Amino acid sequence: MDGHVGAGSSTRLNGSSGVEQRKRQNINYGANDQIDGAILDVPNVVVRPARQRNRPTASQANAGAAGSSNNGAYQATNEELDEEGLKYGAQHVIKLFVPVSLCMLVVVATINAISFYSQTDVYLLYTPFHEKSPDPGVKLWNALANSMILMAVVVVMTILLIVLYKKRCYKIIHGWLILSSFMLLFIFSFLYMEEVLRAYNIPMDYPTTILILWNFGIAGMMAIHWQGPLRLQQGYLIFVAALMALVFIKYLPEWTAWAVLAAISIWDLIAVLSPKGPLRILVETAQERNEQIFPALIYSSTVLYAVVGATITESNDRSVAAIENGVQDTEEHASSSAGPARRTGNASNVVNDDAAQAAEGMPLVTFKSHGNDAGFTQEWTESHAERVSSRQIEVQASNGQNANRSTEYRTTTTTNRPTSTFEAQERGIKLGLGDFIFYSVLVGKASSYGDWITTIACFVAILIGLCLTLLLLAIWRKALPALPISITFGLIFCFATSAVVKPFMDSLSAKQVFI
Amino acid sequence: MTLPEFFGCSFIAFGTPFAMFVFTIANDSIRIIILIAAAFFWLLSLLSSALLWFAIVPLREYLWFGVIFSVLFQEGFRYIIYRILRRTEQGLQAVSENPSIIENKHILAYVSGLGFGIISGMFSMVNLLADMSGPATMGLKGGSEVFLITSATQALAMILLHTFWSIIFFNAFDVNNYMHIAYVVGTHLFVSLITLLNVHEMYLATLLPNYIILLATAALAFKVAGGSKTSFLRFVKCQ
C-alpha cells in the first residue's frame, strides 16, 4: 500500500541503513518523551528544532545520534517504569476531559443564552411522532418509535460505511465525510451565527456575514481535512460536535431525545463488543490492513501534524509535508488519528516519505474530519458515522519496550534531504466525535430545564463514567464503547437529581441551610 | 446590582477554592481525577440523603432531619473515599507522575476534601448565582437583602471546612485518633445545624461561630498535617 511504498522510497532516499534507522527510531522515541512532558505545559505542537533541517542525510543521522544522547536518558528512565503507559493514561484522561468539557460548555452556554435551541418546533424527518399528546403513555410510545427509527437509520448507515470500507471505497467515504463537514461548517454555522446575532440583537449585513462564514468555513475545512495547527483542528472538531449536539437538542422531541440517548448507548455496546458488531469489524479490518480507521471521525488528543516550514523553502516540489506520528500500540492499535493509509506497524517502516503523500493527491494523512454531516436529513448519517468512530477509544501500550517498538513516526523528507522534524506523537487516546455529541446532548438537555444543579450532576457523572471507561480501557486494552457507562450515569443522575435532589436542595437553599 | 452582585458573590464563594485548585491541583492530572471522583462521591451522598428525605414523607417538613442525615451520609462517604484511596494507593503511585502524592498522605486527603467542598459549594450556590445574574435581585421572596452575600460567605466557609475536615479525618483514621473523628463529625453537625438559624436572619449568630470553627479546624488541620508554630512563623516570614 501507499505506506509501504512511502517507507521504501524514503529509505532509499535517505540512504539510511537499518542501523541508522534504528538510531533514528531511538531519537524519535526520545523526542517522544520530551513531547510527552512538554505537552503538559505547552499546549502546542512541539516541533523539533530546526537544526537538523539543513543537514544532509549522513550528518543528519549523526546529529540525530548526538541529540539522542540526552534523549536517551529519558528513554532509559522510561523503560524502567512499567507504569509508563498508565501515567500517560492519567494525562490523557485529562486531555479528554478538557475537550469534552469545552464541548459541553459551548452547548450549555448556547442553550442558556439562546432560547432558539431549547424549543422544538420543527422536527426531523426521522421522528414522525411529535409527542403532542399530553398522555404520558402516548408520549412514551412516540419516543420509543422515534428512537427505533433513528436507530435503524444509524444501523443502516453504519453497515453501509463498513461495506464501503471493506470494498475499499475510500473516495466515497471521504467524499461523504467532506460533504457532511461542509454542511456543518457552512450551513449550520450560519444558522448558529444567525441565532446568536438575533439573541444579542446585533445587526449585521450579509456581506460581512458571508465574509466571516467563508473564512471560518474554509479554515475549518482545511484544518479538518487537510492540515492545520493541531489546536485549530481540535477546536473545529469540538465546535462541530457542539453544533451537532445543538441540532439534536433543537430538533428532537423531548422524550425522544432521552430515548435516543439510551438506545444509542446500547447500540454502541453491541456494535463495539459483539463478535459480529460492525464497529468491531471495522476495527479488525483496519488492523488487518494495517491502516487507520477513519481518522475522520475521531478526536485525538495528540495528533500532531507538523507543518514543516523548511520544506517549503526547499527546491522541491513537495511543499509542505504533514507529519504525523502516531505512536500506537502495535498490538491493539485499532485506529489512530491521522494518516489512515500508512500505518506501519513495525519499526522498520517507520520512516515515511511525504512523496507518498504527495502522490496521493489528497493526503489521507491529513484527512481527519469528524464525521458530521448534517443536513437535517443527513445528520443521521453522520451521527452514525461518528458513532462509528466514537466507539473507538484507544489506549496505548503501556510498557516501554512495547512503546518503543510501536513508536511510529513519519518524517517528511524531500527528495534531496530529509527534514527530520520528528514529531512524536504520544500515545494518544481517541474519542469519537459521536461521544462528544451525545455527552453534550445529555448535558445540554439537562440544562435546558434551567436547573444548574442537574447540569452539574450530569457533568460530573459523565466525567466519572469516562474515567471508568478509560480505566477499563487500560485494563482490557481493546477498543471500548465510550457511551454506555457515561450515558447511564448521566441519565441516572439527571433524573434522580431533578426529581429528588433538586427539591431537597431548593428547600435547603431557600432557608440558607448548608450541609 | 445584578451582574456586580453575581461576580462579587461568585468570587467570594469560589475565588479561594479556585485559586487552590489552580495552584495545587490543576498541574497534576491524577489529582484532578481524584477531585472529580470525590465530587462524585459527594453527589452520591447527597443523592442518598435526598432519597431518604424524600421517602419519609411525614418528616419532609422538618429540615433538621434531612440535615442531620445528610451530614451523616457525607461523613460516611468520606470514610468510603478514605478506604478506597488507601486501598488503591499502590495503583495511584503507579499512575501518578508525582511520587509525593503517596509519600505525603495528606495530599490525597486535601484533594478529596477540596472535591467535596467544591461540589457542595456549587450545589448550594449555583442556582442562587443563576438567579443573581438577572433580571433583578433584592433578596428572595421579600427576604433580606444580604441573603445572597451571606450565602456566598457561608458557602466559602463550607468549602474550606470540607477541605480541612478531610485532612483531619483521613489522618484520624490513619492513626486511630477517635477524638479527631468525633471532632469532624461533631463540628460538621454543629455547623450545618446552626445554619438553620439563617431562616430567622440571624446571620451574625450563624456566620460568626462558623468562621470561628473554620479557624479552629484550619489550625487543627495544619497541626495534623505536620505544621507547627515555628513552621507557620517561618512561612509568614517567607524564610
- Per-residue confidence band for A125, with pLDDT thresholds at 50, 70 and 90: confident
State the average pLDDT over residues A278-305.
Answer: 70
Report pLDDT for A161.
87
Q: CB of B45 within 8 Å of any CB in chain A?
A: no
| Catalytic residue list contains A451 | no
| Per-residue pLDDT at A181 | 87
A154-204: pLDDT as tens digits: 999 888 988 888 888 888 888 888 898 888 899 999 999 999 999 999 999
* Distance to chain A for B92, nearest Cα, Å: 9
**CA gap A111, A117 in Å, rounded:** 6
What would the mean pLDDT of A240-257 be, rounded to a whole number? 90
Which is catalytic among the residues A268, A353, A373, A451? A268
Distance from CA of B185 to the nearest CA of A (A): 12
CB atoms B95 and A460 under 8 Å: no
> What confidence tier does A407 reach under pLDDT thresholds 50, 70, 90?
very low
Most confident of A68-82, A235-249, A361-375, B90-104: A235-249
Find the CB nearest B94 among A86, A496, A514. Answer: A86
Known catalytic residue at A268? yes
Contact B66 A510 (CB under 8 A): no
pLDDT of A361 reads 31
Q: Do B32 and A493 lie within an 8 Å CB cutoff?
A: no
pLDDT grade for A87, boundaries at 50, 70 and 90? low
User: What is the rounded CA–CA span in Å between residue B197 and residue B144?
Assistant: 14
Nearest CA in chain B to A86: B95
Q: Measured between alpha carbons, how far is residue B150 from residues A321, A449, A502, A513, B178 in Å?
A: 60, 27, 21, 11, 33
- The grid coordinates listed for A323 are 507529519
Q: How near does any CA of chain A get to the CA of B12, in Å? A: 16
Phi-psi category of residue B58: left, alpha or beta, with phi > 0 → left and psi -120 to 50 → alpha: alpha
List the grid coordinates of A284. 479488525
- Count of A-B CB contacts under 8 Å: 126
Nearest CB neighbour to A453, from listed B36, B67, B123:
B123
Q: What is the pLDDT of residues B98-151, one digit of tens each?
A: 666 667 888 889 999 999 999 999 999 888 888 887 776 655 566 677 888 888
Task: Answer whether residue A81 shows pLDDT above 50.
Answer: no
Q: Do B158 and A496 touch (CB under 8 A)?
A: no
C-alpha A341/C-alpha A293 separation (Å) is 9
Mean predicted lDDT score pLDDT of chain A? 66
Question: Using an 8 Å Cβ cutoff, are A295 and A336 in contact?
Answer: yes
CB contact under 8 A, A515 and B74: yes
Nearest-CB residue to A504 (from B53, B74, B195)? B53
Report pLDDT for A329: 34
Chain centroid to CA A113: how far? 27
- Determine the structural domain holding residue B144 and report its residue range: 2-236
pLDDT tens, position by position, A429-474: 778 888 899 999 999 999 998 889 999 999 999 999 998 988 888 7
Number of domains in chain B: 1
Report CA A460 to chain centroid distance, whole Å: 21
Chain A touched by B150 (CB under 8 Å): yes
User: Which chain B residues contact residue A503 at CB under 8 A?
Assistant: 50, 54
* Minimum mean pLDDT range among A38-52, B132-146, B152-166: A38-52
The CA distance from A126 to A251, in Å, is 10
Closest chain A C-alpha to B63 CA, distance in angstroms: 7
DSSP track, B81-145: HHHHHHHTHHHHHHH-S-THHHHSHHHHHHHHHHHHHHHHHHHHHHHHHHHHTSS--SSSTT--T
What cell was used for A233? Answer: 483542528
Of A81-95, A250-264, B112-126, where does mean pLDDT reach its minimum?
Answer: A81-95
Q: Of the segments A226-230, A410-414, B228-232, which one has the largest average pLDDT value?
A: B228-232
Nearest CB to A505: which of B30, B123, B191? B123
